[in-house]
Chains A and B, each alone.
Chain A
Amino acid sequence: MILISCPDCGPRDETEFHYGGQAHVPYPEDPSALSDEEWGRYLFYRENTKGIFAERWVHSAGCRKWFNVLRDTVTYRIAAVYRNGEPRPSLDGDPQ
């Protein structure tokens, strides 16, 4: 069980949340202009990061708002929580 700090509600148990996969995947500007392969890449292709990963969570049992989390996929340690629309915060030792 991990403890996730909702930006609006504070720390709550993981059971109050649902996972939303990789964050910062932009919706295509003009979906109808995409080839089937490009659309397929948008829908189904995601990073499989070992380490700090930017991902979406929704506080489904609380305020029902989506937000972003930087989580280490190896240790499960949460390095940062930030609101939807905010840029990905940079961390010390962040490889990018």
Chain B
Amino acid sequence: MVETTIEPLDKKISALRVSPAQHLHGAFVDAGVTGAFGVRLREEQFLTMVGLRVAVGSPDRARLAKIVGAELPARCGEVATGHDVVVLWLSPDEFLVISQSVAGSTLVSYLRAGLSEGGAAAVVDLSANRTTLRLEGPSAQAVLEKGCPLDLHPRVFAPGTAVATNIGRVPVILWKVDLDSYRILPRSSYADYLGRWLVDAMAEFKVLGSG
């Protein structure tokens, strides 16, 4: 008999995970532009995302605020920063809770503890629903402006704002993390198309940068 060691299932699964834009990693690196017209693209893999729906005026909101460590965002664009999580406003009764450090199942059980029995609320692990593309650099805004109907001028779209919109016809959540730094959250099945669309939109800045 041969001794076999059994790896824990979750460890084995995380080693096997493939992110929605993983096959584009090389293309993203090659598309990067440095200098005054610089813009870079990469995928941030496997962020934890939990969908939270809770009715307007529900007493659960105060309990959830205590759990996440911040008031739930009150209006379009608002991003609330809590303990190890950020909460994005998606609609008056819908939020996306994002974490880099807390696992989906853990975050779900924390948040569910904030819901009262029989209340009209939902907490669902949506980590596999979307992936995260990070677009950074002085030309990032110009790249997005090629395919986004929003006014992206910093006067209107300030750092620390996140909105649901379209980029290159793909429905996304566009989150301006910092000046010249954006997180773009497309649904996983659109990651390939949007990744290639962004690479194409970045190409002209390579020419500008080298000239």
Contacts and interface: CB of A to CB of B under 8 A. Distances in A.
Contacts of B150: 12
B100 interface: no
Contacts, number: 36
Interface in B156-172: 163-166, 171
A interface majority secondary structure: loop
Nearest to A60: B171
Given A12-B150, A15-B149, A16-B149, A62 B163 contact: yes
B187 to A, nearest CB: 12
B90 interface: yes
Interface string A45-89: 000000000000000011111000000000000000000000000
A61 B92 contact: no
Interface in B117-165: 149-150, 163-165
Instruction: Give the bracket for the number of chain B residues in contact with chain A.
Output: 10 to 19
Interface string A11-34: 011011000000000000000000
Interface string B61-102: 000000000000001100000000000001110100000000
A59 B32 CA distance: 34
A65 to B, nearest CB: 6
Contact of B92 (A8, A10, A13, A15): A8
Given A12-B149, A15-B166, A61 B171 contact: yes
A10 B165 contact: no
A91 interface: no
Nearest to A15: B149
Q: How large is the interface on A (under 10, 10 to 19, 20 to 34, 35 or more residues)?
A: 10 to 19
A65 B164 contact: no
Contacts of B149: 12-13, 15-16
A9 interface: yes
Given A12-B150, A16-B165, 19 more contacts: A8-B75, A8-B91, A9-B76, A10-B76, A13-B149, A15-B149, A15-B166, A61-B165, A62-B76, A62-B91, A62-B163, A62-B164, A62-B165, A63-B91, A64-B90, A64-B91, A64-B94, A65-B91, A65-B92
11 contacts: A9-B163, A13-B149, A16-B149, A61-B164, A61-B165, A61-B171, A62-B91, A63-B90, A63-B94, A64-B90, A64-B91
